[in-house]
Amino acid sequence: MTPRNPASVRILVADELHPDGIELLRSRGFEPELAVGLSEEDLIQKLPGIEALLVRSATKVTSKVLQAAPDLALVGRAGVGVDNVDLAVASSKGVVVMNTPTGNTVTTGELAISLLCALARNLAQADRRVRAGTWSKKGLLGTELTGKTLGIVGLGRIGRVVADRALGLSMKVLAHDPFLTSGASPMDGVELLELDDLLSRSDFVSLHVPLTDSTRNLISRERLALMKPGARLINAARGGLVDDTALADALESGHLKGAALDVLAEEPPSLDHPLLQRDDVILTPHLGASSHEAQRAVSVGIAEQTMAFFLEGVAHNAVNAPVLSAASMRVLGPYGLLAGRMGALLAQLSATPIAQIELTTAGEIAELDEGPFLEYSLLAATLGQSLDIGVNLVNAPLLAAERGIRCLRGRESDSLGYRSLLRAKVSNADGTESHTVCGTVFGGEPRIVEAEGARVDFAPRGHLLVTRHRDRPGVIGLIGSLLGTAGVNIRRVELAPPHGQDELAAAFMALYDAPDPKTVAAIGELEMVVQVHQLSL
């Protein structure tokens, strides 16, 4: 990108940013326009001519918004999560989306520790009692943290901050991370375990994983039952990781001693929420990033990244392009989206930790000099299924290296007859599990054309049910009947004939809605069905 005259770049700030970030832009000659709290329609009216849109979490950068912004080159998110940005549409339009992944790390980790301390000493209950006019310690007997065991679910950046502080409190620290094998801990003094073992051994459990279809209700009724009697639960990560109704029941029965939640699946909670009236629960209104230091850090960070983008042509912390120009993004964007969907598919198919990720290109795409864009797109999507931070094309290689994941890249001559082809494969450490998919792009849209060695043709998007089954008459009908009973409509079915050493057939069913866990379990219990996976892409 040719360096721009700062005064010629139109930047719209649509959410509240710390004044230091705004002043930094102005000090370099940029003239940001501030318009906070706009409705979608009002935002759309302001977008023509805007080249950079800076937001936090309030403004939703939807497909409709992006389609109405013909001059937009950059969306800057002052914070970690980009759930409020339609990344697929942004990529297809060549709009670079960047975030500030480290600005909230310490603040969120310290909040989890604060909630841990408050739980241990019943501070919230004591405060409410005194304010109500009761000066009594009865029933408020707490526990020391020294020597107690903290189980951390998700050992990414925030999880490591929590582990470091907990070690300083003389706690024993256990951790579970799907991308780290048991025993190979990256932190001294932290023991890695499988999730169920961690739950059964921990006095306190703190969650630090993202919310995906695979982690929704991760702490289910069954897993709450596995927790140590009298244990306490902390969630300062994402609402929806915990089954709130089941948690209320576990507290009511006395199995758990208490819980502290900064996030809920329903925000704000309704007045009849099962946890709202419980005295053994601490509830805070999503304070994870709410510190002066964090607010300033993300504001200054996104200002610095915006200036680097227009003055140097570099997209720091981009979630959909490392250092590509807008022109390159228009060519490679659909293939980056394809690689990302392939990575998400493979990660959800894998039952064991991934130790190696391979990407090969064939056909015309293999002749383009796209740098690491495609492999980083694949890597980021694969890791992003289970990590507790915003994984993007910039930090994905570092995160993979931290977890000992090998990343291989190559070219091949066989494009299966397509003009361009991507082939992706993931494997576990001992090679006992691997999965492979191939994809291409038709009319700007990603397609999966081979899966697990079988030729198929389906769009990798939305809800997908994948089965491996014995090739017998009526199997697909039985699966369809169970889905129909559950009110789930099938959008498309792609069947693969028996292949591989086990000679199992496969079905790829695109669904309009996600089936409930009981329906998926019922499909898995069919006599002819060997494996069933519910995916979200």
Question: pLDDT digit string (tens) for 227-260?
Answer: 999 999 999 998 999 999 999 999 999 999 999 9
Q: How far is CA 97 from the centre of its chain?
A: 16
Q: What is the pLDDT of residues 97-151, one digit of tens each?
A: 999 988 888 999 999 999 999 999 999 999 999 999 999 999 999 999 999 999 9
List active site positions.
238, 267, 286
**HSE (side-chain half, CA atoms, 13 Å) at 324:** 32
Q: Which structural domains are found in the chain, ordered by start? A: 1-103+289-320 (3.40.50.720), 105-283 (3.40.50.720), 322-460 (3.30.1330.90), 462-537 (3.30.70.260)
CB 383 within 8 A of CB 401: no
According to the model, what pLDDT value does residue 119 have? 97
Q: What is the pLDDT of residues 153-203, one digit of tens each?
A: 999 889 999 999 999 999 999 999 987 765 678 899 999 999 999 999 999
Q: What one-character-per-residue DSSP string does 369-434 give?
A: --TTHHHHHHHHHHHHTT-SS---TTTHHHHHHHTT-EEEEEE-S--TTSSEEEEEEEE-TTSS-E
User: Residue 71 burial (CB < 10 Å; 0-12/13-18/19+)?
Assistant: exposed
Q: What pLDDT, on the 0 to 100 scale, is given for residue 329?
A: 65
Q: What is the mean pLDDT of residues 294-303?
A: 95
Based on the number of CB atoms within 10 Å of its own CB, is 371 exposed (0-12), middle (13-18) or buried (19 or more)? middle
- Side chain identity, residue 483: L
DSSP symbol at 27:
H
What is the SS3 assignment for 174?
A: strand
CB 514 within 8 A of CB 533: no
Evaluate whether 231 touches 151 at the Cβ level (below 8 Å): no
> Three-state SS across 87-122?
HHHHHHCCCEEEECCCCCHHHHHHHHHHHHHHHHCC
Q: Identity (one letter) of the amino acid at 74?
A: L
Say how far apart CA 104 and CA 503 lie, in whole Å.
Answer: 49
pLDDT the model gives residue 140: 94
* Residue pLDDT, tens place only, 53-85: 999 988 999 999 999 999 999 999 998 878 789
Query: Which DSSP state fits 228?
Result: P
User: What mean pLDDT do residues 443-463 have?
Assistant: 89
Rounded to whole angstroms, the Cα distance separating 70 from 326 reads 13
User: DSSP assignment of 318-353, as one string?
Assistant: BSS-SS--HHHHHHHHHHHHHHHHHHHHHHHH-SS-
Task: Give the position of tokens 């721009």.
Answer: 4
